[in-house]
Amino acid sequence: MAKIEDYKNNSISAWCPGCSNFGILNAVKNAFVKLDNQPQEIVIISGIGQAPKLPHYLKCNVFNGLHGRALPVATGIKAVNPELTVLTVCGDGDFYGEGGNHLLHTFRRNPDITSIVHNNQVYALTKGQASPTTELGVKTKLQFDGVKEEPLNPLALAIIMNCSFVARGFAGDLDFLAEIIAAGIKHRGFALIDIIQPCVTFGVHQTPWYKDKIYRLENDHNPGDRDAALKKAAATGDKIATGIFYINNKPIFPEKEINLTENFGTDKKVLTELEKSFS
């Protein structure tokens, strides 16, 4: 059985002291422990920002790519080697802003990838500008008289697009978060896990503010019920649901799961057959 120490590496973190990313990192490791995933089976693809540094802080294969582009890289990796457990780790600006188009089409394509989004509602690494999920009216150094754009609702968007697995976690409820991440990885298809991640430096709200507003979706919510899921995702008010909102089992990309990395070169017989059509 895997132990949490199996995923420990000795990198020095560039996260702020007290950052809720540390908790998320632990939840990710605990999800791997739950699933007994060996480090070499895992590939984490990340973008740019503070959250995408996460894969450097644990033991696994890593592709730390460009801002916004984690999903297509992950899609390529999983497509040619379906035996790998493939995750992406990004922040809200990276995943919902710069990479927005890839997200829309990943809903449609449905690769067997789990995407973790550290949603802190702010561009923290660039020192505090609004992100696609910042609430209306929030004042920042750049949006000095308040954000004017409607915030993106990633969960509602995902459900509308029939995303295969849609969940929300909270960086202040790490046991439940580890359960959600494990369920997302286990799910066959694209799993979007949006995590409420209070930013210790630029966040409007800190963890204690969320504590009495967050609740877990329990057995009375059926993730197969799309309308109920959508209602929960679109809900406004004082209560914030976490847990698995929606599960939709559907065909994945690619249709045939073949490990293409095992074969090298091209069969000359195939080439000769193709050649014939040009005579």
Partner 1 sequence: MTEISIIICGQAGQGIQTVGYILAKAVLRSGYYIFAWQDFQSRIRGGESSFRLVISDQPVSSLPEKYDILISMDKSNTPFYAPLVKKSGIIIAENGSGENSVEAHFRKIAEDVGGNKIYANASAVGVVSGILGLDFKKIENVLKEEFSKKSDEVADKNIKVARYSCDETVKNNSKKFPPVKELKNPGRKILTGNESLALWAIAGGCRFMSAYPMTPSTGIITYLSETSHKTGILIEQAEDELAAINMALGASFAGVRSMTATSGGGFCLMVEGLSLAAMTETPVVIVLGQRPGPATGLPTRTEQGELNFALHSAHGEFPRFIFAPSNASDSFKIMIKAFEMSQKYRVPAIVLTDQYLADSYWTVENFNFENIKLNDCFSKPEDVAGEFKTYSITETGISERIKPGESENLVIADSDEHDQYGHITENLTIRKMMVEKRWRKLCLMTDEMNVPVPDGLYASEVVLVSWGSTGGIVSEVAGILSKKGTKTESINYTEIWPLKIPKEFFDKKRKFKIVVIENNFTGQFAGILEKEGVRIDGKINKYNGLPFTAEEITGEVEKTYGKN
Contacting positions for partner 1 (CB under 8 A): 11, 14, 38-41, 43, 45, 48, 53, 56, 59-66, 68-69, 71-81, 83-84, 101-102, 104-105, 109, 253-254, 258, 260-261, 263-266, 268, 270-275, 278-279
CB of 100 to partner 1, least distance (A): 11
Nearer to partner 1, 60 or 130 (CB): 60
Which class for 82: exposed (0-12), middle (13-18), buried (19 or more C-beta within 10 A)? middle
Least gap, CB of 26 to partner 1 (angstroms):
20
**Residue number with CB closer to partner 1 (9 or 249):** 9
Gyration radius of the chain's alpha carbons: 20
Contact 193, 167 (CB under 8 A): yes
Q: Which of 152, 154, 163 is nearest to 226 (CA)?
A: 163
Are 245 and 239 in contact by the 8 Å Cβ rule? The answer is no
CB of 70 or CB of 166, closer to partner 1: 70
Q: Rank residues 38 and 222 by Cβ distance to partner 1 and give the closer one.
A: 38
To partner 1, the closest distance from the beta carbon of 150 in angstroms equals 23
Nearer to partner 1 among residue 144 and residue 278 (C-beta): 278
Give 80's contacts (C-beta < 8 A, 6+ positions apart).
Answer: 259, 260, 261
CB of 59 to partner 1, least distance (A): 7
- Grouping H, G, I as helix, E, B as strand and the rest as coil, residue 196 is strand
Instruction: Work out how close the CB of 159 gets to partner 1 at its nearest, in angstroms, rounded to a whole number.
Output: 20
Two structure tokens written together for 138: 């929030």
Signed CA dihedral, 36, 39, 45, 48: sign only: positive
Cα separation, 246 vs 269, whole angstroms: 47
